[in-house]
Every structure is written in C-alpha cells, then in structure tokens.
Amino acid sequence: MAAALLAAGVGTVAAQTPSEANKKFGNWAYACRTLKEDGPKRCVLFQNILWWKSGKRILNVSVARRSKDKPFVAAITAPLGILLPAGLVLHVDEKELVRLPLRFCNVNGCQGQFPINASMQKLFMDREKGRVVFRQPNGRPLRVEFSLKGFAEGFTKLSAD
C-alpha cells in the first residue's frame, strides 16, 4: 500500500540549479558549472522526483563524468530513513538493470553509484521509464518511477561537452 501511495503521490520535476548552461531535455535538466576558477567545466544530466504534497525531493537520478577520458557514472540519491543494507534496485521498464549498495548518506539522502555501459545507455535512451526500489526500515519496498523522456537528447549533449 505504501508503494501505491508513493507512486500516486510523486511528480516529476526538473530541478532548477542556477547556471548559465541550464537546459531542459524532456523531463531531464542539464547544468554545467566550474568548480575552480581555472578548472574544467563539469556538466550533469539529472532529474529530481518531488513528493507532490510537500514539494520535497524523494529521488535524484543523475549522470556525469569526471572528464572526457573517464566513463559516465550514474548516481541515485534516495531519501534518508531507508533500510541501508537492502541498497537500491534500478529497473528500466520492467527489466531489472542493476542492484547497487548505498555508498554514503548525508543531509541530501543516501547515494548509490554505478558506471553506465553501452547497453545501459541504450536502454535509457530507448525506453520510457525507470524505477528505483528501496526498502523502508520495516522491510517493505517503496517504488519510485522516473521518466526517461528527453534522456537521449540530454545524454547526447552531455557526451559532446
């Protein structure tokens, strides 16, 4: 029941991060910034899922890379207060794509990361929706869906920068 309530109460909203390079690709946002004055530009493609009642973020899915010669890495940030040993499970459409441990938690939530290989990239580009499953402290699963609309165009831009 909690999963049904969560799925019914979630809205997809692209975050507004202050940056000149902000663009929107479907349900995905794209932003770049320079961390150091003389440093390289770092870009990220991301989507925030907000709880419709409070407007608070319950899930963030992002893709970035440290530099052009490094592979793309996806990060999923789930809310605090979840069962940590269970980790996260990512599905694309109905296919389980990856199970990942949670790497760390901070005030923004608990995060897991995984490298994006060519087959994962193709699934994200060709499909309609993704779903992240995590567990409540009582062990019950929570499922949060996110849209893949605009991912292909945004990933093409991210790959070019």
pLDDT tens-digit series, residues 45-102: 999 998 877 778 889 999 999 888 899 999 999 999 999 999 999 999 888 889 999 9
What burial class does residue 23 get, using C-beta atoms within 10 Å of its C-beta: 0-12 exposed, 13-18 middle, 19+ buried? middle
Count of all residues that appear for the chain in the document: 161
- What is the number of structural domains in the chain? 1
Helical segments of the chain, H only: 2-8, 118-126, 151-160
Contact 138, 1 (CB under 8 A): no
Give residue 45's domain range.
2-160
CATH for 147:
2.60.40.1880
- E strand or H helix at 42, and its extent? strand 41-51
What burial class does residue 83 get, using C-beta atoms within 10 Å of its C-beta: 0-12 exposed, 13-18 middle, 19+ buried? middle
pTM value is 0.81
Please state which of the ranges 4-13, 67-76, 122-131, 132-141 shows the lowest mean pLDDT. Answer: 4-13
139 in helix, strand or coil?
coil
